[in-house]
Amino acid sequence: MRSICLYFQVHQPFRLRTYRFFNIGDDHYYYDEYQNRSIVRRIADKCYLPANKMMLGLIREYGSAFKISYSISGIALEQFQLYAPDVIQSFKELAKTGCVEFLAETYAHSLSSLSNKEEFANQVKLHSDTIERYFGQKPKTFRNTELIYSDRIGEMITDMGFTTMITEGAKHILGWKSPNYLYCSSLNPKLKILLRNFRLSDDISFRFSTHSWAEWPLTTEKFVGWLNKIESREEVVNIFIDYETIGERQWKETGIFDFFKALPKTIFSKSDYIFSTPSEISEKLQPVAPIHVTHPISWADEERDLTSWLGNELQDEAFEKLYSVQEKMNKCQDTEILHDWRLLQTTDHFYYMCTKWFSDGTIHKYFNPYPSPYEAFINYMNVLSDFILRVEKDFSRPAQKQVTRKLKIDEPVRQSRKSIEKTKSVVRKQSIKKTVKTDDKKAASVIVTGNFKSLNFDSILDLSDRKIKEMVKKVDLMTLTYATKGAHQAVREKIEKNLGKLALKKYHEFLDQIKTIKTAEVTKYRKKIEQEIKSLF
């Protein structure tokens, strides 16, 4: 009988907060804790928890006949541990059934396979150990970040002991051949390779709720009809999709949950397919041919290449600067720096810098939290500049007692929690601090009594020069300029005397450029200043 391999990718990045040039060398916490918590919690409620409940129900209904596979990035597991531990518990329930296979990948969902073999191997080992610790399985199958694969990467994976890998069934690699067979590496035939059927996978991932699509609406009967049209000698159909497709990308109202609930029954009653995991397929089938992949492929965009993350000047400069400290990181013993090193390697940071606005522009804009790739680049490079300063400082210290470089399995989560608690502690201390300079007493008393509403734009006059300097570091000059347009002369003078020479020059240039401005615009920018004033205490 022919097999269907149903595989889901689970990943969430640690999103960066707005990190300005003035923060470099002074502030070492880079992550938007509010965004990370709220997004993970939202997707947990819309996707992970109801989808896991549905999959568990299907396994209980059909027993070992229904099997699925997951790959969960290490940093997604970190965020689940921090913000949604019930998600981890629900995956553990699935693991107990024996009908779910968990795959290995890079811990940080990184591009390390394209840069450094040692870092690549370290991340794969850390991820495999983490999966075993959480779910009691030692991964047998490897899934590289974004399904990136080449002959060279396949060779590295074989050296790590894996015998099965999954990747994209890219047309420019297969040519006339079908993705619905088991293949092997051209350099080492012992590495068996399953290829994604991108047409059927994308029908679910991207086109499911598209009313302009000629095949809409997609029903299980229609989908199984397509499966039955595949030539009978083709052995396996690999449906690989992001798990967030269920409930997040395709909302519940589209019928996506109903589709997956009905899929097993329709397949069992109207086709000769069975559900199998990647390792099961690898064990029972033999490769029909090797595939030759000289240049890396991926499952992203129409091109199925690396241009979602590398290729333009912004991405290449950020990538090269990040990995320029690789040798020093090999000797680093600071666990906080090592943890940040991993989080900054996540592919999402480079994805946000993509300037492709053609066939896949809608997708790139939808998943990009920045207004433009250039702002994503500037923010990331500011963070990276501070990170490299920390690396250089750590590297220049006298050698201490030799300790192992490898992080403990629970160390990443501990470091994330430690960083978050450190930030909260600073905020708490600032909120209740009563011993302040004379100029700050009036504003501080507002904080101490909890009357935040009393703080407004004119509170600038009650702040010390030290507080003003802190405040202007956190806002861009354009915001400052619009906010102070038409403000009381005393307010403007207090701000101007705390600007550096270059900043002051730019400030006056911006003021001269603004001829007219609506009151609503001024109010909007002043509210931003007010928020920064409140954050000072």
* Residues annotated as part of the active site: 146
Chain centroid offset of residue 454 CA: 39
- Six-digit token string for 298: 């991926």
Distance from C-alpha of 413 to C-alpha of 519, rounded to nearest angstrom: 46
Bridge partner residues of 238 (DSSP): 5
Report phi then psi at 261, rounded to 5. -65, -35
Which helix or strand (DSSP H or E) is residue 238 part of?
Answer: strand 236-242
For residue 509, which phi and psi values (nearest 5 degrees)? -65, -45
Question: What is the spatial distance between Cα 424 and Cα 375, in angstroms, rounded to a whole number?
Answer: 27
**Rounded CA separation 261/77 (Å):** 26
Relative to beta strand 192-196, strand 182-185 is: antiparallel
**Residue 372 per-residue DSSP state:** S
Tell me the one-letter amino acid at 138. K
Q: CB neighbours of 407 closer than 8 A, spacing ≥ 6? A: 126, 335, 338, 339
Residues 106/124, Cβ–Cβ less than 8 Å = yes
- 441-448 and 411-432 helices cross at what angle (nearest 10)? 120
Q: What are phi and psi of 414, to 5 degrees?
A: -60, -40
The 3-class secondary structure across 160-229, one letter per residue, is CCCCEEEEECCHHHHCCCCCCCEEEECCCCCCEEEEECHHHHHHHHCCCCCCCCCCCCCCHHHHHHHHHH
Tokens of 138: 């030692």
List, in order, residues 6 or more apart from 537 with CB less than 8 Å away: 430, 431, 433, 443, 444, 447
Q: How many CB atoms lie within 10 A of CB 313?
A: 10
The per-residue b/e assignment along 254-281, b for 16 or more CB within 10 angstroms, e otherwise, is bbbbebbbbbbebbbeebebebbbbbbb
